[in-house]
A = this chain, B = another copy of it.
Amino acid sequence: MITNVRSDRVKQVKALGRRSARDKAGLFLVEGRQAVRELIRFAPMSIRDVYLDAEATERHPDLRELAGEWADGAPANVRRFVHDCSPQVLAAMCDTEQPQGIIAVARPIDRPLADVLAGSPKFVVICTNVRDPGNAGTVIRGADATGADAVILSDASVDLYNPKLVRSSVGSLWHLPISRGSSIEEIFAACRAAGLTLHAADGVGETLLPDVDLATPHAWVMGNEAWGLEPEVREQCDDVVRVPIYGHAESLNLAMAATVCLYASAAAQN
């Protein structure tokens, strides 16, 4: 049982809240029951450690069991650890105030741009200049819910492994291929090569969502939560699409707009 809140281990895990420490260690923090559960199910090889407290063990025996299976299922040359900790240690390691009694430390799972676009995708989501981690995580959750084939975060977006992004994706991070770090020019070129039509989503768009052909392979291009897409990015797309507004609202927020666009894609393809 780990009880010393001042140990080096606690400091190292806590440091993963910062991007520089994540990049240096090649690790990131996964907090909360649903996120850790999906991590163990979908990306067990990427996990390094699981930490949980007595309450989580007692209340969620299935999760404890899943963590045990994960550790036992390791190849012979790999050692995996499920660590019992005091709630204080868990709180000291965490970014959030409510870690729900369980966290994991895992290795990045993003894939090269060419990989996520292989296999004739039907629709994908590109985020450029999305800065709020909660929005980006919610867009990934929406992409997962609608059966999108991939999410691509441009180099000008929030870090994929930001703890708040990981939390708000609620496990969707491991459910579909995600790429990060490419420039928007590289991303557009790769999407064109993969035969995808580029639909910019922006409140200034002249094409209404119900009028867009979403039965053919395409990519949605989502921009910054405050200022939308830059004109030079919009101009490279095949059309600029806006979600119709029927009342007096000036706009939708990014996560809402993305969810509506992605459900339109899913409806056209299912």
Binding site for B on A (CB under 8 A): 34, 38, 42, 138, 141-148, 170-172, 175-176, 210, 243-253, 255-256, 259-260, 263, 266-267, 270
Nearest B residue to A176, CB-CB = B247
Nearest B residue to A248, CB-CB = B175
Contact B175 A210 (CB under 8 A): no
28 A-B residue pairs with CB within 8 Å = A38-B248, A42-B248, A143-B247, A145-B245, A145-B246, A145-B249, A145-B252, A145-B256, A146-B246, A146-B247, A148-B247, A170-B249, A170-B250, A170-B253, A171-B249, A171-B250, A172-B247, A172-B249, A176-B247, A210-B267, A243-B263, A244-B266, A244-B270, A255-B255, A255-B256, A256-B256, A256-B259, A260-B260
CB distance from A260 to the nearest CB of B (A): 5
Contact B175 A249 (CB under 8 A): yes
Chain B residue numbers with a CB within 8 Å of A259 are 252, 256, 259-260
CB distance from A20 to the nearest CB of B (A): 24
CA gap between A267 and B256 in the complex, in Å: 16
Nearest B residue to A256, CB-CB = B259
CA gap between A148 and B245 in the complex, in Å: 11
CA gap between A243 and B176 in the complex, in Å: 19
Chain B residue numbers with a CB within 8 Å of A176 are 247-248
Q: How many copies does the complex hold?
A: 2
Contact B138 A248 (CB under 8 A): no
Contact B144 A249 (CB under 8 A): yes
Which of A42, A146, A246, A260 is the most central at the interface, judged by chain B CB atoms within 10 Å of its CB?
A246
Contact A34 B260 (CB under 8 A): no
Partner of A253, one of B141, B146, B247, B263: B141
Chain B residue numbers with a CB within 8 Å of A263 are 243, 260, 263
CA gap between A253 and B38 in the complex, in Å: 17
CB distance from A168 to the nearest CB of B (A): 8
Partner of A247, one of B144, B243, B246: B144
Chain B residue numbers with a CB within 8 Å of A143 are 247
